[in-house]
Each structure stands twice: as structure tokens, then as C-alpha cells.
Amino acid sequence: MTDDVLLDVKNIALSFGGVRALKDVSFSVKKGEVFSIIGPNGAGKTSMLNCISGRYQPNEGQIIYKGKEMIGLKPNQRCELGMGRTFQNLALFNHMTVLENIMVGRHHQLKNNALSGSLYWFTGAQKEELAHRREVEEIIDFLEITHIRKSVAGTLSYGLRKRVELARAVALKPDMILLDEPMAGMNLEEKEDMARYVIDLNEEWGMTVIMIEHDMGVVMDISNRVMVLDFGKKIAMGTPEEVMANPYVKSAYLGEEIELDQDDLNAEANA
């Protein structure tokens, strides 16, 4: 693995009973990239993110992050190594405020334990909490959600809840953030805002981004490279322009009838 490669995924296979969700998928992500994973519904995109983040343990293959093997590590251990994650279906604590939800994202950086935290005024716990609050307030300001910071998460609109979930993932201060359909269900204005936040996280905050997204306009505009999955297999990878011109991608998305050349597919899979 070269120095500029942050994540190296090798020959990942994942099965659920007799169903093969991922079949020998390999790719790498460079530091500072916006790397998008696209494909039809059921192609294995979320399964791949779940393998990277530790929700699923693949049956075969390797996942190397920062030069360290991830297979066998729990999700919280991967967070400690600098991985953040949002989910396709919202996973907020709906009874908690926006501020409280985002503070949850700082939990792995808290140094005080239950014992020292009980002596709040004497062990530095107060000073530590204030430092984390300052970090959270910076994120709230960045994502323009100051006006809802004290609102209960469950009372917010869908678009705002998606933004709060992004804020919680950013609160981890990850080197790499995994975004599972961050713009799903949003109107045009909300999508434009979210795309701007993703670009700023990448360019200004220095986060490497791996994103699943169905909006091809967004993918084309903000991605450095794109990987396409279909029925659990990688069928194409390259720049957005290269991928959208690929006949196998057109076949997967548009149902165009083409004669599939197995040698070409194998070449794509090994790219």
C-alpha cells in the first residue's frame, strides 16, 4: 500500500445464508479523495460500507486502513482510528436535543471515566466538557444549524435531521467519513446545501469521503473517482466521466442490452 492510499479493500466477499451480497470486490481510496460508490438498488453498496465500518464481518478478504488490518476490529475501535459514519436510515436519538446528539459523537474522545466524572469540579471533567462543547459549537456553526441546536431531534424535518446526523459523524473528527445516501429524500435546495458541506469537509476540513449516492448529478459534480457495483460485483471504476461512458454501467442502470464480455468484466474488476 502506497503512502497516499488511506483505505485498501482486497477481495471482499460477503454472504447471508445462500445470498452473496459482495463477490471479490477490491478497490483503494486515496487520502483527500471524494470516492463515490454507485449502483442499482441491491447492488451491495451499503453492505460494503458496513464491512468497512465494522457492522458486518466479511467472509473473505482484507480491509486495510492506515496500514492496519480492520477485520476483527469492532466499530468503536474503528472510530478511534478515525472513521466516521452516517446511515441510510436516520439513526438519531429522537428524544434528545440536537446538541446532545452531536455531543454523543465526542464520546470516544472523553478521557474522564464514571468515577472521575462524578467529581466534576475537581478532576478536570468540567474543563474537558467545555472543550468538547466548543468543538461541537464549531460544527453547529459550520452546518448552519445554530437555530435548532436546542430543538428535540425527533421534531425536526427530514432534511434537518440528515444534517444533524452528519454533524454527529463530523464530531468524531474522522480522517475518513462514510456517507450512506446523504442526500436521499431531499429537495433540490437541501441537496445543494449538503453537497456544499461535503465539499467543504473534504477541502477545508481535510476529510477523505466515501459516499453512496443515487443522484448522478451530485456524483458527477463532486467525486474524484467512482466505483460501480452490480449484483455484488465491481463492474467499473474511474473518473465520473469514464464511468458514465462505460457500456456495462449503462446496462446496469438503463437495462440496455449488450453482449457482456467476461474478459472485459474481469479487467474492470481488477482495475
Which of these, 66, 62, 90, 98, lies nearest to 80 by C-alpha position?
A: 66
Same domain, 68 and 198: yes
**CATH at 187:** 3.40.50.300
Residue 87 lies in a domain: no
Same domain, 168 and 179: no
Of 155, 173, 191, the position where a domain reaches its end is 173
Residue 75 lies in a domain: yes
- pLDDT over 60 at 111, yes or no: no
Is residue 197 within 8 Å of residue 166, measured between CB atoms? yes
Look at 29 and 3; give whichever has higher pLDDT.
Answer: 29
Q: What is the pTM of this model?
A: 0.86
Same domain, 188 and 253: yes
Same domain, 73 and 62: yes
Same domain, 14 and 127: no
C-alpha span between 3 and 105 (Å, rounded):
28
Residue pLDDT, tens place only, 71-95? 999 999 999 999 999 988 888 999 9
Same domain, 54 and 179: yes
Same domain, 57 and 131: no
Same domain, 25 and 142: no
Task: Count the domains in the chain.
Answer: 2
Same domain, 10 and 77: yes
Residue 217 lies in a domain: yes
- pLDDT over 80 at 231, yes or no: yes
C-alpha span between 126 and 89 (Å, rounded):
34
Same domain, 71 and 191: yes
Same domain, 27 and 132: no
Residue pLDDT, tens place only, 133-191? 888 999 999 999 999 999 999 999 999 999 999 999 999 899 999 999 999 989 999 99
Q: End-to-end CA distance of the chain, in Å?
A: 15
Residue pLDDT, tens place only, 188-214? 999 999 999 999 999 999 999 999 999
User: What is the residue range of 100's domain?
Assistant: 93-173
Of 173, 201, 222, the position where a domain reaches its end is 173
Of 173, 198, 229, the position where a domain reaches its end is 173
Same domain, 149 and 185: no
